[in-house]
Amino acid sequence: MMADFIDGPLWYFSLAVFSIGVIWRLTPLIFSKHPGDLSVPRESALAGAIRTVFSRSIPDRGSLSRVSLQIVAGYMFHLGLFAVLFFAAPHVLFLHEQWLGFGWTPLPHWAFILASQFAFLGLLMLWLHRVVNPVSRLISTTGDHVGTILTFVVMLSGCLALLQGFNELRLLHRFCVELFLIYFPFSKLMHTFTFIPSRAFTGAWFGRRGVRS
Amino acid sequence: MKNHWLCGRSSHLLLLIFVFILPLTYAMPGLSQTTASAENEGVLMKNPGAELWRNVRQRDSASVGISQVRSVDSGVLINPHADRWARFRVNYLIEYGLMTLVAIASLILLFYLARGKVRIEGGLCGKMVHRFNDYERISHWVLAIVFLFLAVTGLTLLLGRPLLIPLLGHKVFSILASASKESHNLFGPVFLVSLVMMLVAFVKRNIYARGDLTWLLKGGGMIGKTHVSGGFFNMGEKSWYWLVILVGLVISVSGLILVTPNLGQGRVVMELSHVVHVVAAIVLIGFSFGHIYLATAGTEGTGEGMKSGYVDIKWAQAHHDRWAAECHQQDLVISAEDYAKLQGKTNSTRDASSSADMQEAK
């Protein structure tokens, strides 16, 4: 009964909320009209946009010593999560069989384990920094903590089900993913989709004025 | 006719006796010989399979045979040490492990009931001094969280059969055990990394120095009522730190041996690693009970250091007087108001000032 609900209606509901929610959040960002910039461009806005998309991934030298932990932990978490999400064998198989009709070479088991360990350690350090550092703690909202905890729970439940021997553990993981998908569009987790347009917009704005960003 | 009948009947009887008794007369010497030899030498006819199965079972010691499979222990059909290890696990590790943890928890509870919370004389004053930076606290909490997770999952695997199966049943426990095993193996190496982080963060201040032994001999102030002098870390904290690092390394190395069975280690090494892993983990879990107790219910003001990074100066004077004196000398003590500002706990002040500004504007 519960299994059917998680595998059936709740799964499709969460997918619908996720898809519609993400489109609803992105549409105004993409199609909103800005007053035209009539000034003569000093440099290419496109070049500025592309440059900024990448340059913002490189830590600033001036503040590197103060934010090194966040930089290292941030890379560990995001790269680890990306690897686990798209290259874990069960995920590749799921996408192949359920959605895409094709697959790709998954990570070997040891690499998957290593990637998930990176992701767990990175996320744990990032969240602890949020809680421990007074400035981060002040600027953090309840939504930030909920998003972090949900991400952690999704990853953890996936790892609990690694043996793939119990359907109950698979259902637990899927249920956590469904909660995550429903929460996603209403939270800062949306930065998954907005970080590139956001950087590009800023880069284009500065690039047009000949300012490095 | 009558005589003839008798004669006939007698002849039949004699024939029957002859048929049944005669073989017995042949068999009797053999029978008697067998009984005699059984008494003297045991059964002569050996079970032809007994020899084979005795060799297969290798009760005396493992003998290495020849196998097409090329790997460690592939020539050993049955490992006789495994039985000993399994019995040791069930009869000693589980039983004594559980007893040890229950005994430590009970002792701590009894101590708390007898002594109560160790308060700072005159109470805390609110003036604070910085003790741990963000990196140190993050290292501590990463280690603590991962350690507690591994302790819970590890104890589930160790004590699940006698404790959890009667409570949860086989089905639920099998799911829990599978989840515990997978997550325990996954988080084990994370524990090693957090151990290295902890080593880097605190090693300099945990080198033993003069005066540490005095602290130990006086039981850190728990024995008697005399004050015991201490630096940034006292002898108890230093010993706990080295215990975590060294026993943690033992747990990590033995755990890595267990989690990577294809690296060439044999079964006996795996069995020994398991025993070392469990014993070391029980030791560390037991001591961690004491650490958690002292940081929470045991002593006043201790936990604040790892929460905010600051401690009350009176707490520092009570437990680390030499370090507190240094802080006074270097003018590092800040007021309660400054501490509140640093922690962003001035909402009421900010709200009050903003409402005052609004009234002025009106």
Q: Are A89 and A112 in contact (CB under 8 A)?
A: yes
pLDDT of residue B44: 64
Which of the pair, B250 or B69, is modelled with greater confidence?
Answer: B250
- Most distant CA pair in chain B, distance: 156
Computed over every residue of chain A, the mean pLDDT equals: 93
pLDDT of residue B31: 43
Q: Which amino acid is at A135?
A: V
pLDDT of residue B210: 80
Query: Does pLDDT of B220 surpass 80?
Result: no
Residue B175 has its nearest CB partner, among A121, A133, A166, at A166
Residue A116 has its nearest CB partner, among B135, B146, B186, at B186
pLDDT of residue B239: 93
Query: Does pLDDT of B103 surpass 90?
Result: yes
Q: Look at A134 and B187 and tell me if their CB atoms are within 8 Å.
A: no
To which H or E segment does residue B312 belong?
Answer: strand B310-312
pLDDT of residue B10: 56
Average pLDDT over residues B164-189: 95
Computed over every residue of chain B, the mean pLDDT equals: 83
pLDDT of residue A76: 97
To which H or E segment does residue A80 belong?
Answer: helix A64-87
pTM, whole model, 2 decimals?
0.83
Average pLDDT over residues B45-61: 72
Q: How far is CA B165 from CA B152, B171, B172, B177, in A?
A: 16, 9, 8, 10
Q: Look at B182 and A161 and tell me if their CB atoms are within 8 Å.
A: yes
Query: Does pLDDT of B225 surpass 70?
Result: no
Give the residue from chain B lying closest to A114, CA to CA: B186
Which of the pair, B353 or B260, is modelled with greater confidence?
Answer: B260
Question: Tell me, what's the ipTM?
Answer: 0.90
Of B208, B200, B195, whose CA–CA distance to B238 is shortest? Answer: B208
pLDDT of residue B122: 85
Give the residue from chain B lying closest to A65, CA to CA: B135
Of B155, B186, B182, whose CA–CA distance to A161 is shortest? Answer: B182
Lowest mean pLDDT among A188-202, B115-129, B149-163: B115-129
How many residues in chain B? 362
B243-300: pLDDT as tens digits:
999 999 999 999 999 998 888 888 889 999 999 999 999 999 999 999 999 999 988 9
pLDDT of residue B140: 96
Query: Does pLDDT of B196 surpass 60?
Result: yes
Q: Look at B309 and A132 and tell me if their CB atoms are within 8 Å.
A: yes
pLDDT of residue B61: 66
pLDDT tier at B14, thresholds 50, 70, 90: low
Which of the pair, B39 or A131, is modelled with greater confidence?
Answer: A131
Query: Does pLDDT of A33 surpass 60?
Result: yes
pLDDT tier at B1, thresholds 50, 70, 90: very low
A88-106: pLDDT as tens digits:
999 999 999 988 999 999 9
Query: Does pLDDT of B28 surpass 90?
Result: no
Query: Does pLDDT of B322 surpass 60?
Result: yes
The alpha-carbon gap from B347 to the nearest alpha carbon of chain A, in Å, equals: 11
C-alpha B197/C-alpha B191 separation (Å) is 10
Which residues of A have a CB under 8 Å from any CB of B? 69, 113, 116-117, 120-121, 124-125, 128-129, 132-135, 137-138, 156, 159-163, 165-166, 168-169
Query: Does pLDDT of B166 surpass 80?
Result: yes
- Most distant CA pair in chain A, distance: 65
Write down all domains in chain B, each with its CATH number in brackets.
Answer: 98-353 (1.20.950.20)
pLDDT of residue B60: 64
Query: Does pLDDT of B42 surpass 90?
Result: no
pLDDT tier at B56, thresholds 50, 70, 90: confident
3-state secondary structure of A184: helix
pLDDT tier at B43, thresholds 50, 70, 90: low
pLDDT of residue B244: 97
Q: Are A28 and A195 in contact (CB under 8 A)?
A: no
pLDDT of residue B184: 96
What residues of chain B lie within 8 A of the CB of A84, using their CB? Answer: none
- Chain center to CA of B294: 21
The alpha-carbon gap from B206 to the nearest alpha carbon of chain A, in Å, equals: 23
Residue by residue, what is the 3-state secondary structure of chain B?
A: CHHHHHHHHHHHHHHHHHHHHHHHHHHHHHHHHHHHHHHHHCCCCCCHHHHHHHHHHCCCCCCCCCCCCCCCCCCCCCCHHHHHHHHHHHHHHHHHHHHHHHHHHHHHHHHHHHHCCECCCCCCCCCEEECCCHHHHHHHHHHHHHHHHHHHHHHHHHHHHHHHHHHHCHHHHHHHHHHHHHHHHHHHHHHHHHHHHHHHHHCHHHCCCCCHHHHHHCHHHCCCCCCCCCCCCCHHHHHHHHHHHHHHHHHHHHHHHHHCCCCCCCHHHHHHHHHHHHHHHHHHHHHHHHHHHHHHHHECCCCHHHHCCEEEHHHHHHHCHHHHHHHHHCCCCECHHHHHHHCCCCHHHHHHHHHHHHHHHC
Average pLDDT over residues A141-166: 93
The alpha-carbon gap from A73 to the nearest alpha carbon of chain B, in Å, equals: 11
C-alpha B234/C-alpha B219 separation (Å) is 11
pLDDT of residue B349: 45
3-state secondary structure of B118: strand
pLDDT tier at A1, thresholds 50, 70, 90: confident
Q: Are A53 and A200 in contact (CB under 8 A)?
A: yes
Query: Does pLDDT of B355 surpass 80?
Result: no
Q: Look at A120 and B194 and tell me if their CB atoms are within 8 Å.
A: no
Q: Are A161 and A172 in contact (CB under 8 A)?
A: yes
pLDDT tier at B82, thresholds 50, 70, 90: confident
pLDDT tier at B357, thresholds 50, 70, 90: very low
pLDDT of residue B24: 46
Q: State percent of chain B over pLDDT 90.
A: 53
**Structure-token pair, residue A118:** 């990176």
Which of the pair, B333 or B29, is modelled with greater confidence?
Answer: B333
Query: Does pLDDT of B32 surpass 80?
Result: no
Residue B138 has its nearest CB partner, among A128, A134, A162, at A128
To which H or E segment does residue A155 belong?
Answer: helix A142-160
Average pLDDT over residues B1-25: 51
Burial (CB count within 10 angstroms: exposed 0-12, middle 13-18, buried 19+), residue B255: buried
